C-alpha cells in the first residue's frame, strides 16, 4: 500500500517537470514575444502581414494540436524528428505563449496616447529617450495584469504536456489511478493552487510597486 508521503513525493517529482517547463517557457517566450510584437507593428507590410497571420494561426488553434505538430511534423516533412518529448513540448509552449505575449505588449504600447510622444519631442527628447523615460514604465504597469493572467494560465497549461508523454504531475497521478488509487489525481490540484497562490502574491506586489503611475 502506497503511503501518503510516498505518493506526495512522486507527485512532487512530476510537478518539478511542470515547473521546469513553466520556467523555460517563460524565459524564452517573454523576449520572443517582443520580437513577434516588433514584427507585428513593423512598417514593412510583408513582415507585418506574415507576423499577424502567424499569431492568428497560433492563437486560433489548440495548444494540444500544436504539441502534436511540433512532435511529429518535423519528422514527417524533413525526416528529422524531435526525439526528446520535453524539447518538443517546450518549443510548442514557447511559440504559443510568445504569440499571446506579443499581443499584450502591442496593446500596452498602443494604449499610450500619441500626445505623450509629441510632448517628449517638444521637450527635445530623442525617440529612445521618449520610449525608455516616458513610455516604457507606463506600458509595464498596463501589461502586468494581463501578463499575470497568462503566466498563471501557463502553469495550468503545462499539464497538457502529458498528451505527448512528458512525465508531469498529472501523468504521475494517472499511474496511481491505473492501480486503483484515485485520490492522487485530485490531490494534484493542491500543487497548482499553492504555486499559483505564490505567483498571485508576487504579481500583486509588482502592481503595488507600479501604482504611482496613474496614467
Q: What is the pLDDT of residues 189-198, one digit of tens each?
A: 999 999 999 9
Segment 44-56, tens digit of pLDDT: 999 999 999 999 9
CA torsion 56→57→63→66, rounded to 10°?
A: -150
More confident residue, 184 or 125: 184
Q: How far apart are CA 31 and CA 101, in angstroms?
A: 9
- If one counts every other C-beta atom within 10 angstroms of the C-beta of residue 202, the result is 12
Contacts of 196 (CB under 8 A, 6+ apart): 152, 155, 156
Long-range contacts of residues 194-201, Cβ cutoff 8 Å, at least 24 apart: 195/15, 195/19, 195/155, 196/152, 196/155, 196/156, 199/148, 199/151, 199/152, 199/155, 200/148, 200/152
Segment 141-159, tens digit of pLDDT: 899 999 999 999 999 999 9
Confidence at residue 78, expressed as pLDDT on a 0 to 100 scale: 82
The mean of the pLDDT values for the chain is 91
More confident residue, 111 or 149: 149
Q: How far is CA 49 from CA 40, 96, 98, in A?
A: 7, 18, 17
Is residue 2 scored above 80 in pLDDT? no
Q: 197: which 3 cell numbers?
A: 497562490
Given a contact cutoff of 8 angstroms between Cβ atoms, the answer to whether 94 and 33 are in contact is no
* Ordered structural domains, the chain, with CATH: 4-209 (1.10.3720.10)
Amino acid at each position: 500500500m502506497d503511503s501518503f508521503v510516498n505518493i506526495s513525493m512522486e507527485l512532487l517529482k512530476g510537478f518539478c517537470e511542470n515547473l521546469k517547463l513553466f520556467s523555460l517557457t517563460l524565459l524564452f517566450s517573454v523576449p520572443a514575444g517582443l520580437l513577434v510584437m516588433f514584427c507585428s507593428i513593423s512598417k514593412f507590410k510583408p513582415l507585418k502581414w506574415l507576423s499577424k497571420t502567424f499569431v492568428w494561426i497560433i492563437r486560433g488553434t489548440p495548444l494540444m494540436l500544436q504539441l502534436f505538430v511540433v512532435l511529429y511534423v518535423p519528422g514527417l516533412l524533413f525526416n528529422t524528428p524531435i526525439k526528446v518529448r520535453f524539447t518538443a513540448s517546450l518549443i510548442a509552449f514557447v511559440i504559443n505563449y510568445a504569440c499571446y505575449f506579443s499581443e499584450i505588449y502591442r496593446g500596452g504600447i498602443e494604449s499610450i496616447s500619441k500626445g505623450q510622444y509629441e510632448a517628449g519631442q517638444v521637450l527635445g527628447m530623442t525617440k529612445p529617450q521618449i520610449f525608455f523615460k516616458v513610455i516604457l514604465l507606463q506600458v509595464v504597469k498596463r501589461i502586468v495584469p494581463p501578463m499575470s493572467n497568462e503566466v498563471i494560465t501557463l502553469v495550468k497549461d503545462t499539464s497538457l504536456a502529458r498528451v505527448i508523454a512528458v512525465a508531469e504531475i498529472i501523468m504521475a497521478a494517472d499511474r496511481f489511478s491505473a492501480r486503483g488509487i484515485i485520490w492522487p489525481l485530485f490531490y494534484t490540484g493542491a500543487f497548482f493552487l499553492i504555486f499559483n497562490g505564490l505567483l498571485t502574491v508576487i504579481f500583486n506586489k509588482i502592481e503595488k510597486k507600479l501604482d504611482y503611475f496613474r496614467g
